[in-house]
Amino acid sequence: MSLVTADILGVNVAAITMKEAVELAVQFIEKKNNAMIATANAEMIMRATYDAELKMILNKADLVVPDGAGTVWAANYLDCPMTERVAGFDLVQNLFKIAPQKKWRIFFLGSAPGVADKAKLKAEKDYPGIQIVGTQNGFFNDEDNDTIVKEIKKTAPNILLAALGVPKQEKWLYKYIGQLNCPLSIGVGGTFDVMAGVMKRAPLWMQRAKLEWMFRGMMQPRRAGRLLALPKFVLKVRSWKKKENK
């Protein structure tokens, strides 16, 4: 599959559908090449404009999917047709659906103590036969990194899901991916929180109305500043298009 990408504020995001993203993920797992998928929403792309390391990592990733209405809007506005968003949470659930039959082994890294274990139980209930071969919470010190890498390697996962928040998860994966010997790693943000019931996803009508960002801002009042992330992103993409003559 040749990938068409949209250059959004310097981050190359694949113009890809959910179905294609799942197919590519399967290929990555089967190729066993230590692939990395990032899920780029407007906030992540904004962050990459002032975090050069994050931008470099995203542009080196094997696949960056458009996670969010803002990303899809920006691509279309920049004349790169993009039909749908590929939310990290949904991509992961789609992979879980086929995991039992493929006999994939999956490791959950990240989120607060206990949350990944609850998410594991939820996955085992929803996808009978799924093999979640290990969990590790995301609140560890730098000196624990080597032990954690060893622990993950010992379980020989086909997929590593990292939920350490942006940009920690991308930077952690980039640093350790060569040692992990895991065919596919994905930065999945709040996925375990939602699976464990610690966080709610926006109701479907809000997702369809492209208002999930607003729901998230409302659910986390201490992060109400996040509500401004999307309007700021829109303004930035507009002035970028003018400046770059895109």
Q: Cα(19)–Cα(98) distance, rounded to whole angstroms?
A: 13
Between residues 2 and 141, which has the closer beta carbon with respect to ligand UDP?
Answer: 141
Cα 215 to Cα 201: distance, rounded to the nearest angstrom: 8
- Phi first, then psi, for residue 129 (nearest 5°) are 95, -10
Considering only 54-62, 80-88, 147-155, 186-194, which stretch makes contact with ligand UDP by CB under 6 A?
Answer: 186-194
Q: Which of residues 103-132 bind ligand UDP (CB under 6 A)?
A: 110-112
Which residue of 8, 46, 166, 195 would you call a contact of ligand UDP, by CB under 6 A?
A: 166
* Region near ligand UDP per CB under 6 A, out of 66-74, 159-167, 171-179, 237-245: 159-167
Q: Residue length, the chain?
A: 246
Q: Rank residues 29 and 233 by Cβ distance to ligand UDP and give the closer one.
A: 233
String marking each residue 27-66 x if it binds ligand UDP according to CB under 6 A: ----------------------------------------
Edge to edge, the sheet with strand 131-136 lists 63-66, 35-40, 184-187, 159-163, 105-110, 131-136
In angstroms, the CA 236 to CA 51 distance is: 16
Q: Smaller CB distance to ligand UDP: residue 70 or 138?
A: 138
Burial state string for 106-136 with b = 16 or more CB within 10 A and e = fewer than 16: bbbbbbeeebbbbbbebbeeebeebbbbbbb
Which of 72, 106, 164, 229: binder of ligand UDP (CB under 6 A)?
A: 164
Q: How far is the C-alpha of 194 from the C-alpha of 192, rounded, in Å?
A: 5
| Residue 88 interacting with ligand UDP (CB under 6 A) | no
Least distance from C-beta 218 to ligand UDP, angstroms?
14
- Could you say which of 28, 192, 213, 233 contacts ligand UDP (CB under 6 A)? 192
Out of 139, 144, 147, 235, the only residue in the binding site for ligand UDP (CB under 6 A) is 139
Residue sitting closest to ligand UDP (CB): 138
Q: Does 190 bind ligand UDP (CB under 6 A)?
A: yes
Least distance between ligand UDP and beta carbon 51 (Å): 12
The token pair that represents 11 in the structure block: 């981050």
Note whether 233 binds ligand UDP by CB under 6 A. no
From CA 31, how far away is CA 217, in angstroms rounded?
39
Q: What secondary structure, in 3-state letters, does 153-211 show?
A: HHCCCCEEEEECCCCHHHHHHHHHHHHHCCCEEEECCCHHHHHHCCCCCCCHHHHHCCC
Q: Smallest distance from the beta carbon of 40 to ligand UDP, in angstroms?
A: 11
How far is the C-alpha of 85 from the C-alpha of 231, rounded, in Å?
A: 18
Q: Which residues bind ligand UDP (CB under 6 A)?
A: 110-112, 138-139, 163-166, 168, 189-190, 192-193
